[in-house]
Structure 1
Amino acid sequence: MKRIILLITILCSVISAKAQFGVGGGGGSTIVGKISGTVSDSVTKKPLDYGTVSLFRATGKAPITGVLTDDKGNFKLDGIHPGVYRLEITFVGYPTKVINNVETTPSKPDKNLGSIVIPPNTKALKEVTITGTAPLVENRIDKLVYNAEKDVIAAGGSATDILQKVPLVNVDINGNVSLRGDANVRVLINGRPSGATSASLADVLKGIPADQIKSVEVITSPSAKYDAEGSAGIINIITKQKNISGISGGISGGVGTRQNNGNFNLNYNKNRFNLTVNVGGNASWPQTSNTYQATSINTATTNSFTESNGTSRVSRHAVTGSVSAGYEFNAYNSLNTSVRFNQIKFNTNSNSITTGDDNYTSNTIAHAIPASGFDWNIDYVHKFKKEGEELDFSTQWSHNIGKTDYTSIYSAVNPNQKSNIDGTNNEYTLQADYVLPINTTFKLESGAKYIIRRINTTNDIFSPSTGNDFAFNDALSSTYGYNQNVGAAYSVLTINLPKNYSILAGLRDEYTTIDGNPQSATQQNLSFTQDYNTLVPSLTLQKKLTATQTIKLAYSKRITRPSLQYLNPYVDASNVTAQKVGNPTLSPEVSQTVELGYNTFIGSSVINLSAYYKHTDNLIEGIAKPQTLVSGTDTTHYTLTTFQNIGSNNSFGGSFFGSITPFKILTIQGSINAYTYKPDPTGLFSNAQTQNGTYVQYGGFMRATLTLPSDFIAESFAFGSSARRTIQGTNPAFSIFGVGFKKQFDKKKYSLGLNAIQPFSTYKNFNSNISSPGFNQVSRFQLPFRSFGLTFAYNFGKLNFKPQNPMEKKKGVNNDDLKQDDNGVGGGGPPAGGGR
């Protein structure tokens, strides 16, 4: 109750500071009115399509905003404050048209300039030099910004294609995103959750057309206004503003030897109402992988060796979609809502033959994992008289249901089992954020947030009865109720100092309570409670050395709460020979990171360097131990992995990103990130440690893009990462190579492409090794990876987005505070500067 009263007090104090609602807030809103018109040739009277319209303040030197005319010469600039402006229209072969004293007022925010005619140049055009008004990459105090709209080959493709070009970001062939080699990254769209908590982040990104993206923000050291989740950072995708009313949309897809995908989006915008609908899906062809595992146990009481060879056939399909709508009541109040839904299903059938000292012999497992859910957001924004001052209220309801059904049958011994696991996850979030630009030197941001998580799981176990039938086993079945509440409040101050110095300082306070209620017919009461408070400071100092060089020093403290799969005290025996169990007493990981970064732009080339140190306490890793099961005359052995806080870790790392254009048609990008792993396990876990040295882990990528005449594009890429260490061994390394070709038609409205991934080898090998004194386990997984595919895309109408500027504010709910499962091994990775 004290926590709730504290949050309500903070929220009320924020609201009372500037509780001026209604339309009388003044002229400082960022969304007020519009300026429109039609441009045509003064001689032929034909419309000038795709001309550049730029808006300046009356005496300004840099454009405030801009837009291209459509195929009928029309243009519309939304989001215009009341004031006096200068309009400049440029078109190849025509002189620049300047219109002065373009005025809008609060009472008449919309200005229609009517027909604007431009005479053609009388001199032949000999040479044209195009200079962008903003660089391709900008470095700000709290983020790196990639201006995708400045990328000449961005049109066509998807958000995945854009992210592959963003500094410090890497995207693997399945669309999985990592930041400086670390996949523990949060991806947002316009400051909101991107659907990563739904079916698949990779599928969501494939459903966003590239030409709808304005910019991408990369935040490697999140400030205190973000949830204190200890990830590698945040990637925020900003959609662009086309300012053309009407209906637009696109259809894209691909057919290949590994998987097929398709996407449809439709946008509607009229007056101050907007509606967006998106539906996408993908399905993989069934793929058969080869598996191998060898386990040896040599202790004072046990000496055994087992070896298993098998195959696993997997198929997958997924459907994702979203509906978003927004309405601006006036220049100062707006309401937006969105619903994102998802459905995904995996089907697995595996067979294996086991030889050695145990009597498993042959094993058949049928495994099905269907899941579905939705995220529903409602956001209200009120803008005040002072420009940049605003108050945002956001709510989110996330509902997800999932089932895991499997049947495991052995021919010799009888640990046969059938399980039906049903889970329901509801998450409710209330959030308020307030931004106050005090003056040109100081800006204050503060807010409060409350997250309510309710998770319920029913695990019904069925044991063999007569014949091939299974009967419900009440003794092994269980239910699990898990409640988690997180209350948070934050304040962040930005200070712009003389001589190009900037400071970003913040403090966040998060209080977490956990209540677990596992119930089983035969086990004792396993209920547990936990609560802890965490202060999360952040500090960034930046110095702009020159117009193209910036140096930055950042400190941040982050926490990583264990999520449900880490806490569930019931054994997951879906793989009888390699079982898992959670640990309800786990504490969150707490990390502190110091990072020094340097950015420079030399012409079209970009260089980003950083060095960092990270200290992590309560490091979470999975610890595997050998187990023995005696059933009558049969004795079998298996491993049981339990998640534990094994100790601390100190890591040093560095990263490099570079982009160069040696020729006009060729762009080469490369990145490498390396960091150390040296855990310091405490207590009993020091006995499980077989990795005693300091190990260097690394990852990187290289990409070359060739832009040829007639809208023909060719690309090749390669990326990979080293094996990841734990105190007991290594997880698999990964690398891949691919080439692609694409031809665009009709001003890039259509495109056709061909691609080849890993063309010279059928399988990729993934090897891992786990060992402790008296125990060793080697696993090998061969996944068919070679693929060839055909892609296509078609865009129709005029693309359209509401005139927002999410780069300056964070709206909506963004819950990014939970540690997610990492292939069964928790924690232990690289520092936040270089991934976890």
Structure 2
Amino acid sequence: MRKILTLLTVALTLSIVSLAQLKNGRIAGKVIDGNTKTIESATITLIKAKDSSVAKISVANKEGNFVFENVAEGSYMVSITAVGHAKGFSEKFEINSANSSVTLKTIELIPVSKELSGVSVAAKKPLIEQKIDRTIVNVEASASNVGTSALEVLEKSPGISVDKDGNISLKGKQGVQVYIDGRPSYLSGTDLANYLRSIGSNQLDQIEIMTNPPAKYDAAGNSGIINIKTKKTKQLGYSGSFSSTWSQGRYPKVNESFMFNYRKNKVNLFTNLGYTNRKNFQDLDIQRKFIDASTDEVRSLFEQESRIKEHSQSLNTKLGMDYFVNKKTTLGVVLTGFYNPGTFSNNSDVLIYDANKVLQSQTLASTSNDKKWKNFSGNFNFRHVFDSTGKELTADLDYINYKSENAQYLINAYYDTHGDPIAKADTLLGSLPQNINILTAKMDYLHPMKKGAKFEAGVKTSFVKTDNNAIYDSLNYGIKVPDIGRSNHFIYEENVNAAYVNFSKPLSKKLTGQFGLRLENTIAKGNLITTGEKFNRNYTQLFPTAYFQYVVNKNNNLGLNYGRRINRPNYQDLNPFIMFLDKYTFEQGNPNLQPQFSHNVELSHTYKSFLTTTLNYTRTTDIINEVLEQNTDENETFIKKANIAKQRQYGIAVSANGQVTKWWSGNLYVNVFNNKFEGIVNGDSVEIGATTAMANINNQFKFSKTWGGELSGFFRTPGVDGVFKIQSMGMLNVGVTKQIIKGKGTLRLVVRDVLYSQKAKGTIKYSNIDASFQQKRDSRQVALGFTYRFSKGKVGGAKRRTSGASDEQNRVKVGGE
């Protein structure tokens, strides 16, 4: 661990020093087309006049304006490219001490239809882009992402952490909502992690990280929203790509994907196909002390060694069509689905000692699961632009269905201290089908106003029904006997209705404000058919948001934002029945769970578009957290969710990115935060707090025109996650890339977790609970990947289409783990 901390510290220091030595020249300009209309999102390239090498790359804003900061002295030109236009150039100009700020003449681009026959265009994007309301990670910009899953890409993204069970946190806060192409994943916890592991990184385009989303987005998500965008081309004619990656850790892994887009006249067709085949292992060791609650004396010691193996496959697809009825109206449909079969096995050795560490008994437990997940999702979307001012109406209708099958086989064999059987082995068979149906509809209206003001409004409704039927049987001398005590059937239904308004306006020449208000009404009911237990919920809440941006001068910008958010319980966590995990561990839902609420405030400062510093404060009430209860006499542990506490967090995050030298660019992210957790757990007062630091670093090197490299990693100091104290952890990655086949192909070779330091360790101590764990998995891998791109047609533009489904999908638990 010291090695990785030292290496990351050295790289971090070198990068900061190098970035700080950049010069202070500034270049500003504007681009329009031949009809004097502004061009949005044109690519602006600053070129050194002496050798035509690229100094910087930027993107024009909605008004066609662009700016370059931190430009060194020298002679330059600007080149501009935009979809559907011929390339344009500025005149040659100088940056020096006497002329450090240059404003270029307006540059006009001529509209053209340029044929692309077999030419592959692969523009280099920066790894990290910092926007006013979000951070964007361009997945392909990092060589070490080759052969990874979507979950592994998230794990190394700025501010994101993933715990041993696959739960995702953002800036040290749980409750993040994960979207796929603007649509909710509708999964949570371990099942969300399994789904993200089934998506290969070669299918991903961008990761959007929003810590305080505006009122247009669902209010769900205590710590914000992560939107995973998959690839979609924007070209007339046809284009596509194929990727294949082989990774080798202890076990092999394969990721393959195919993307194709065809656009002609009024029709745009697109598809994504993906296949993964992954074998993994996990070693999990757990130690527990069973303490007498009345005397505080240790009654027994529990040690468990679990050796887990998983083999998962995934076939996922997306098919879509956009139909351009006319210049103002577009209709679209998107169909997605996946089929994920897999197997899971766990062999555990449980040793039970007395208080003096004298062995009392041994249990050998074996668990196997055969799992199948199936999903179908359909989206119909509509967009109409009323006039040239930008008035726009959009609508989305979504239907999502999940079906899962999980066949479990559990056996526990009991032995004395000499290894002789002391009781008949327990054998339990489980069939755990689940069916989830989700229907959502939403409509949004955008109305630009005079003097740069903008008004937005929208409505949304969603209906969710989950049906979980756990059927258990015991084997009694080879005869299957229904186990009524462990079987249960739970149905949950929920309807969320929402409406929002949002207004933004320049308040002065330097100050811009945006204000939003969202109303959400939740109606829910649960029915445990097995016992006849029922519950009902009906509550309405308001969620205000506010954003301010102040331009101090050409080098400094300030931002301030506030938002209130909600995190509703996961559907399965409301199921009051006791779920059997193994002989000594049980999981129980809680129908009395209430939603948790948070208030988030952020103050940010941006210096010369390369250094951003953010201060944040969050206060969460009625926090939903996992707690443990123990039966000391039977050495049993119950795991459940409860509204047990409140949490306060304050922190500071610093991100920097820029071109260090002609051949070296760097991205740095450091987040330091303090979490304080206090509440009543199992009747006892608990107060836990800690300061944690997280650092992500990515260095990109360009050795020649076709060769490149990467050195990246992350490190996290010890911290707290609810009532758990987690030890430090990190990762170091090294990669190299090679462009081949005249730029149409790319080879990537990468070694991940070089020092094998991505290992989780933690402890939990409160009341009569005293436990610890250690976990390691197949994180050190060597991967070789190949990507081939092809295209033929005309340059054009097709808007990425996302649906209106919101936070419901994040709260589903599919499968039987």
Normalising by the smaller structure, the TM-score range is 0.7 to 0.9
| Matched-pair identity in % | 22
Structure 1 residues 28-43: aligned runs within 5 Å: none
Match of 2:401 in 1: 399
Query: What secondary structure is seen at the aligned counterpart in 1 of 2:533?
Result: coil
Aligned to 2:458: 447
| Aligned residue pairs, count | 708
Comparing 775-784 and 395-404, the one that deviates more: 775-784
Q: Is residue 536 from structure 1 mapped to residue 543 from structure 2 by the alignment?
A: yes
Q: Does the CA contact (< 8 Å) of 2:665 and 2:700 recur in 1?
A: yes
Equivalent residues of 1:142, 1:504 under 8 A apart: no
- Aligned match of 2:339: 343
Q: 1:326 to 1:195 in 2, by over 3 A?
A: farther
**Which of 472, 492, 496 is equivalent to 2:502?**
492
- Say which of 612, 616, 634 aligns to 1:636: 634
After superposition, the C-alpha distances for 1:466-491 in whole angstroms (9 at most, x for unaligned) are: 23x43222343211100011000000
Could you tell me how far apart the structure 1 residues matched to 2:748 and 2:173 are? 30
Q: Provide closer, same or farther for how the CA distance between residues 644 and 292 of structure 1 changes in structure 2, counting only shifts above 3 A.
A: closer
Q: Distance in 2 between matches of 1:158 and 1:501?
A: 42
Cα separation, 2, equivalents of 1:544 and 1:796: 43
Q: Does the Cα contact within 8 Å between 1:675 and 1:697 map onto a contact in 2?
A: yes
1:620 aligns with 2:624: yes
Cα contact 1:395–1:429 (8 A) shared by 2: yes
TM-score of the pair, normalised by structure 2? 0.77
Question: Which region of structure 1 is more displaced relative to structure 2, 411-420 or 545-554?
Answer: 411-420
Specify the alignment match of 1:828 in structure 2.
none
Q: Secondary structure at the match of 2:203?
A: coil
* Change beyond 3 A, Cα 1:794–1:67: farther
Please list the CA deviations of residues 754-793 of structure 1 after superposition, one character each: whole Å capped at 9, or x if unmatched. Answer: 11122344x7532222233333222222323321121111
CA distance in 2: counterparts of 1:471 and 1:442, whole angstroms: 69
Give the 3 Å change call, closer, same or farther, for CA 812–505 of structure 1 in structure 2: same
Give, in whole Å, the separation in 2 of the partners of 1:774 and 1:158: 41
Instruction: Tell which deviates more after alignment, 57-66 or 225-234.
Output: 57-66
Instruction: Spell out, residue by residue over 1:685-713, the C-alpha distance to the aligned partner (whole angstroms, 9 max, x if none).
Output: 56162xx3531123221121111113111
- Paired amino acid for 1:402: S
SS at the partner of 2:572? Answer: helix
**Does residue 1:424 correspond to 2:424, yes or no?**
no
Q: Which residue of 2 aligns with 1:765?
A: 759
Aligned equivalent of 2:474, options 460, 463, 486: 463
User: Are positions 1:705 and 2:711 aligned together?
Assistant: no
Q: What whole-Å deviation, never above 9, does each CA across 1:394-424 have from its counterpart, x for those lacking one? A: 1111100112332221112555422111101
Give 1:667's aligned residue: 665
Partner of 1:229: 220
Q: CA deviation at 1:456?
A: 0.2
Structure 1, 300-309 or 648-657: larger mean CA deviation: 300-309
Alignment CA distance shift 1:594-1:623 (3 Å): same
Partner of 2:742: 747
Task: Confirm or deny: 8 A CA contact 1:342 1:374 kept in the other structure.
Answer: yes
Residue number among 687, 697, 711 corresponding to 2:684 in the alignment: 687
Q: Which residue of 1 aligns with 2:270?
A: 276
- 1:501 maps to which of 511, 519, 523: 511
- 1:267 counterpart letter in structure 2: N
Cα distance between partner residues in 2 of 1:328 and 1:189: 24
Question: Given the alignment, which residue of 579, 583, 586 partners 1:572?
Answer: 579
- Is the 8 Å Cα contact of residues 502 and 541 (structure 1) preserved in structure 2? yes
CA distance in 2, matches of 1:370, 1:659: 43
Instruction: Tell which deviates more after alignment, 298-307 or 566-575.
Output: 298-307
| Equivalent-residue separation in structure 2 for 1:364 and 1:157 (angstroms) | 31
Query: Could you tell me the TM-score, scaled by structure 1's length?
Result: 0.75
2:33 equivalent to 1:56: yes
Structure 1 residues 111-510: aligned runs within 5 Å: 141-144=132-135, 168=158, 179-180=170-171, 185-186=176-177, 188=179, 191-193=182-184, 200-201=195-196, 203-204=198-199, 206-208=201-203, 218-236=209-227, 244-258=235-249, 259-287=253-281, 289=283, 291-300=285-294, 303-357=299-353, 359=361, 361-412=363-414, 416-467=427-478, 469-510=479-520
Q: In the alignment, which residue of structure 2 is the partner of 1:118? A: none
Deviation (angstroms), 1:205: 6.0
Mapped to 1, the partners of 2:806 and 2:600 lie a distance apart of 21
Q: CA deviation at 1:728?
A: 3.8
Amino acid at match of 1:586: L
Check 1:113–1:811 CA distance in 2 against 1; reply closer, same or farther (3 A cut).
Answer: closer
Structure 2: where are the runs of 5+ without partners?
A: 1-30, 46-61, 63-82, 93-105, 116-122, 354-359, 415-422
Q: Is the 8 A contact 2:486 2:578 kept in 1?
A: no
Deviation for aligned residue 1:206 = 1.6
Distance change in 2, residues 1:575/1:112 (3 Å): same
Partner of 1:51: none
For 1:58-78, what per-residue CA distance to the aligned partner results, in whole angstroms no more than 9, with x for missing partners? Answer: 44687775799xxxxxxxxxx
Q: How does 1:511-590 map to 2 (within 5 A)?
A: 511-520=521-530, 523=531, 525-590=532-597
> How far apart are 1:340 and its partner, in Å?
1.2
Q: Any idea what SS the aligned residue of 1:474 has? A: coil
Task: Check 1:758–1:353 CA distance in 2 against 1; reply closer, same or farther (3 A cut).
Answer: same
Are the aligned partners of 1:67 and 1:242 in contact in 2 as well (CA < 8 Å)?
Answer: no
- For 1:557 and 1:170, the matched residues in 2 are separated by 20
TM-superposed CA distance for 1:820, in Å, is 4.7
> What is the SS of the residue equivalent to 1:636?
coil
Partner of 1:40: none
Distance 1:799 1:182 in 2: 46
RMSD: 4.3
**How far apart in 2 are the matches of 1:707 and 1:735?**
26
Where 1:562 maps in the other structure, the secondary structure is coil
- Note the C-alpha offset of 1:133: 15
Query: Conserved in 2, the CA contact under 8 Å of 1:167 and 1:657?
Result: no
Residue 611 of structure 1 deviates from its aligned partner by 0.6
Is the partner of 1:748 in helix, strand or coil? coil
| Deviations 1:187-245, CA, capped at 9 Å, x for gaps | 556644579888633554624365xx7xx654321111110012433355678997642
Partner of 1:15: none
For the 8 Å contact 1:281–1:318, the answer to whether it is kept is yes
CA distances 1:631-669 after superposition (whole Å, capped 9, x unpaired): xxxx63210012110121121111111124321111122
What secondary structure is seen at the aligned counterpart in 2 of 1:385? coil
Residue pair 2:432, 2:471 contacting (<8 A) in 1 also? yes
SS of structure 1 residue aligned to 2:573 = helix
Deviation digits for residues 123-160 of structure 1 (CA, Å, limit 9, x no counterpart): xxxxxxxxx999998765534567999x8999999997
Kindly state the Cα deviation for residue 274 of structure 1 after the two structures are TM-superposed.
Answer: 0.8
CA separation of 1:61/1:565 partners in 2, compared to 1, >3 Å: closer, same or farther? closer
Contact 2:278 2:312 in 1 (8 A): yes
Which residue identity lines up with residue 730 of structure 2 in the other structure? S
Larger mean CA deviation between 306-315 and 373-382 belongs to 306-315
Q: Please give the secondary structure, in 2, of the residue aligned with 1:678.
A: strand
Tell me which residue corresponds to 1:50: none
User: Which of 732, 736, 739 does residue 737 from structure 1 map onto?
Assistant: 732
Matched, 1:651 2:649: yes
Residue by residue over 1:423-475, the C-alpha shift from the partner in whole angstroms, topping out at 9 and shown as x without a partner, is 011100010111111223321100100010000011001112223x4322234
Relative distance call for 1:100 and 1:285 in structure 2 (3 A) is closer
**197-206 or 638-647: which moved more?**
197-206
Partners of 1:251 and 1:793 within 8 A in 2: yes
Change (3 A) 1:538 1:784: same
Matched residues in 2 for 1:803 and 1:87: separation? 12
The CA deviation string for residues 36-91 of structure 1, in whole angstroms up to 9 with x for no partner, is: xxxxxxxxxxxxxxxxxx852544687775799xxxxxxxxxx9xxxxx9965448
